[in-house]
Amino acid sequence: MSRRPVIAGNWKMYKTQADTRQFFAAFKPLVAHSRHCDIIIAPPFTALSVAVEAAAGTPIAIAAQNAHWAREGAFTGEISMPMLVEAGCRGVIIGHSERRQYFGETDESVNRKLGAALHAGLTPIICVGELAAERDANLTHAVLKRQFEGGLHALTDADFSRILLAYEPIWAIGTGRTATPEIAAAVHRFLRELAAKQFSPECASALRILYGGSVKPDNIKGLMAQEEIDGALVGGASLDAKSFAAIVNF
């Protein structure tokens, strides 16, 4: 089964509109011939429209980093999925570990947001991953199973075939401590097995699983050489046009 690679950048709470314009001016020429993978960039909300405009006419898709599950309502400070669509987004990151850790995201809220994203026609990028203490206590599989089943329950095969899954071990995010390609691939295999239990074998084998956590230009090649690793979700190294382009062009 050959799956098309996906390289996604998560800018977190970095970059103004001016920074975003600058990034795209430098980045676009560097990936002008990069047709071998899907490219996604997730800027902060305030830079979304600038990013959408800058990426127009290129294959670069713009995604948001979070959204609420309701269409609209009295939810001060929140943004809805249809609002993202209107802003020109094609995808949305859901359940990033920083949202789980600092903003009370749960498997239940991930599930509700996932339904709303699919309903709005967005590509959801669902993040799962274990803490260092959980890995050390041999709980990696149990944690991922809970996150996968809790986040993805009540999904049809057709819905499932539209999602991207990102494995982001929390101990590797922003720490410079990347999972080795072998560790990541083993977890991806486990996630695909979980997918095969809940969805059709075709869906499970077509699922694209991204690795995230200290992905850099110098380790992307080794990661992508693993058959089980279908792409990367890149934080820090996606902020610089040259380094993100080097990752895209692995």
Bridge partners (DSSP) of residue 128 are 167
Asked if 105 interacts with ligand PGA (CB under 6 A), we say: no
Exposure string over 151-179, b if 16+ CB within 10 A, otherwise e: bbeebeeebbeebbbbbbbbbbbeeeebb
Catalytic residue among 96, 105, 130, 134: 96
Asked if 63 interacts with ligand PGA (CB under 6 A), we say: no
- Stretch near ligand PGA under the rule CB under 6 A, chosen from 65-73, 113-121, 168-176, 202-210: 168-176
Asked if 173 interacts with ligand PGA (CB under 6 A), we say: yes
**Contact with ligand PGA (CB under 6 A) among 66, 111, 214, 219:** 214
Q: Which of residues 85-104 bind ligand PGA (CB under 6 A)?
A: none
Asked if 10 interacts with ligand PGA (CB under 6 A), we say: yes
Asked if 213 interacts with ligand PGA (CB under 6 A), we say: yes
Task: Specify the residue for token string 């314009």.
Answer: 21
- Stretch near ligand PGA under the rule CB under 6 A, chosen from 31-39, 105-113, 134-142, 211-219: 211-219
**193 catalytically annotated:** no
7 and 248 Cβ atoms separated by less than 8 Å: yes
**Contact with ligand PGA (CB under 6 A) among 44, 169, 181, 236:** 236
Angstrom distance (rounded) from CA 239 to CA 200: 37
Q: How many residues bind ligand PGA (CB under 6 A)?
A: 13
- Stretch near ligand PGA under the rule CB under 6 A, chosen from 31-39, 43-51, 75-83, 231-239: 231-239
- Pair of tokens at residue 209: 């699983």
Report the Cα 249 to chain-centroid distance in Å: 18
**Contact with ligand PGA (CB under 6 A) among 47, 235, 244, 245:** 235
Asked if 234 interacts with ligand PGA (CB under 6 A), we say: yes
Kind and range of the H or E run holding 157: helix 157-160
How many angstroms separate the Cα of 94 from the Cα of each of 4, 24, 69, 146? 21, 24, 11, 16
Cβ contacts of residue 216 below 8 Å, gap of 6+?
178, 237, 243, 247
**130 catalytically annotated:** no
Least CB distance to ligand PGA at residue 202 (A) = 28
Least CB distance to ligand PGA at residue 235 (A) = 2
Catalytic residue among 130, 134, 168, 228: 168
Helix (H/G/I), strand (E/B), else coil: 210: strand
Angstrom distance (rounded) from CA 184 to CA 198: 21
**Contact with ligand PGA (CB under 6 A) among 59, 73, 121, 174:** 174
Angstrom distance (rounded) from CA 131 to CA 66: 21
Active site residues: 96, 168
Contacts with ligand PGA, residue ranges (CB under 6 A): 10, 168, 173-174, 212-215, 233-237
